[in-house]
Amino acid sequence: METISENRCFGGVQGVYSHDSAVTGGKMTFGLFLPEEAEHGSVPLLWYLSGLTCTHENAMTKAGAQAWAAEHGIALCFPDTSPRGEGVANDDAYDLGQGAGFYVNATQDPWKPHFQMWDYIAEELPRVVDHNFAVDPDRQSITGHSMGGHGALTLAMSLPGRYASVSAFSPIANPTQSDWGRKQLGAYLGSDEEAWKAHDSSLLMLDRGFDGSVLVDQGASDQFLELLKPEALAHAMAARRQDGAFRMQKGYDHSYFFVSTFMEEHVAFHAEALYAL
């Protein structure tokens, strides 16, 4: 593992690191914030999955999460959204290929050799972080924005017992029925739509729900509402009688101004779950 940078931040350290990934077949970069408490022992870990076009850097610099994580003594991990580099398949569109891994394991060419983002987030990167830093593998939660909200919700519901809590900002909530989903799931997983269902949080919510608490914030003035389809997830949570809350936030859009506004509440939500373990 290579240290790219480390900066003092709210009493802790905001680092950026890279490592060779056997899963994606190349070098991957991630950001990790460690609060001051990590100097004396292991701390809980909150994963933040970013959206389309993002790298590890977007949320790390725009979400304002470190201040609230420091307050609660929680580490934050900011993975990249896809493999990158020479030899990695890409597309001219912003919503497919590099920067748009969609948190799935691709089964189709040309994506299959590198686009194994489910295994990277669920298995490989947690091992790297646990091996190199003072984080507690038994106290983890997960959140994300847009495509990352989709990833956070699907991972949380598919890996019971892994995460104490899950939250999402403006998630792609019903990708099997949206152009932000059908395009990518078809490209990465093929034409069999049955295989897509494992990556649709609304369908997973109806089928199994989450064994902890869920918090979803959606901007009511989000310019991508027709692509996100939040009503499908809200309906599924109500039908499942899922513990948690789905909140429409009047006047807010899809930007990091929205995310940063509600980040304090999301970190506090996860801290309560993590420290209850």
158 belongs to the catalytic site: no
Is the bond into 110 cis (omega within 30 degrees of 0)? yes
3-class DSSP assignment, residue 171: coil
Active site residue 18: no
Burial label for 98, CB within 10 Å (0-12, 13-18, 19+), is buried
Per the CB < 8 A criterion, the answer to whether 152 and 145 are in contact is no
List 146, 165, 170, 178, catalytic entry: 146
Q: Which residue bears the tokens 């919503």? A: 95
Three-class secondary structure of residue 145 per DSSP: strand
Taking alpha carbons only, the member of 265, 276, 228 closest to residue 71 is 265
Reply yes or no on whether 199 is catalytic: no
- Is 246:233 a contact under the CB 8 Å cutoff? yes
Instruction: List the catalytic residue out of 56, 150, 199, 254.
Output: 254
Rounded (10°) CA dihedral 155, 161, 167, 170: 20
Annotated catalytic residue within 199, 222, 266, 270? 222
Cβ pair 200, 180 in contact under 8 A: no
Catalytically annotated residues = 146, 222, 254
